[in-house]
Amino acid sequence: MRINNITTVLIIITSFLFSCKSTQEKLIEYSLVQNHEAVTPVIQKAPWAQSWWMERHNEILDRNSKEETDLVFIGNSIIHHWEDTGKESWNRYFGKYNPVNMGFGGDRTQHVLWRIENDELENIKPKAAVIMIGTNNFSAGHSAEMIADGVIRIVSKIRKELPDTKILLLDIFPRDSLNSPSRITNKNASKIFAGISDNKHVFSKNINNIFLDNSGEIPSELMPDKLHPNAEGYKLWADTIKNIVSDLADY
């Protein structure tokens, strides 16, 4: 009887302690015990990426070993294209932070995790990081829960390696048509991982409405392929987050 009583007390105490944890702590703990493709670090293996992916990774390592930065952007091709399609807005709005673009076309959460685990955040102490990743996971057949796990794992890794860096975590941008499976899955994933925001270290933000018309569809004037912003889309994006980035990176 005493053993049963002790067990009951332990269960009550454990439940109480868990209930005292923040939503961020609960979600990060949940993600860390998951084991599936979206949270398993791996090199990008797509044939079309073999000629440049590792070279880009090594260029970032070399760059970060030589100079500091106050701002990094981490993600897939939508981040990557700040270098060309969005270059004018990148320089105008973020150039003063000596920013580093860690966007890799085609990357999923597992590829970003590999890059982080292989030193892309070494030798730098950015004041702020902007993260937008996950849409390519849908293309790989990952569920909203799997995508959210991957994003949460990325944030957890960044928090561990760069504890003083403020993170702006953006919802996955809208793609395709309003009621498409991709739009719905990415929206649901974003709702899950937005829960790790504590408005102290991690700041979740949904700016997706800037890319939508009144009917919820994506105007071709901003995203011609309903996935990647054009120059006007990048300008709108930059203008929308510039004050948030300033608040996080100018302290």
Residue 120 belongs to a domain: yes
Give the pLDDT confidence of 86-118 residue by residue, as tens digits.
999 999 999 999 999 999 999 999 999 999 999
Give the pLDDT confidence of 114-172 residue by residue, as tens digits.
999 999 999 999 999 999 999 999 999 999 999 999 999 999 999 999 999 999 999 99
Nearest to 145 by CA among 88, 208, 191: 191
Q: 3-state DSSP helix/strand/coil percent for the chain, to nearest 5?
A: 55, 10, 35
Residue 188 belongs to a domain: yes
Listing DSSP states for 4-19 in one string gives: HHHHHHHHHHHHHHHH
Distance CA 27, CA 203 (A): 15
pLDDT for position 250 = 80
Residue 3 belongs to a domain: no
Nearest to 57 by CA among 123, 122, 105, 102: 102
Residue 204 belongs to a domain: yes
Residue 15 belongs to a domain: no
Residue 154 belongs to a domain: yes
Residue 4 belongs to a domain: no
0.85 cut: is pTM over it?
yes
Range of the domain at 190: 22-249
Structural domain total, the chain? 1
**CATH number of the structural domain spanning residue 183:** 3.40.50.1110
Nearest to 94 by CA among 58, 65, 126: 126
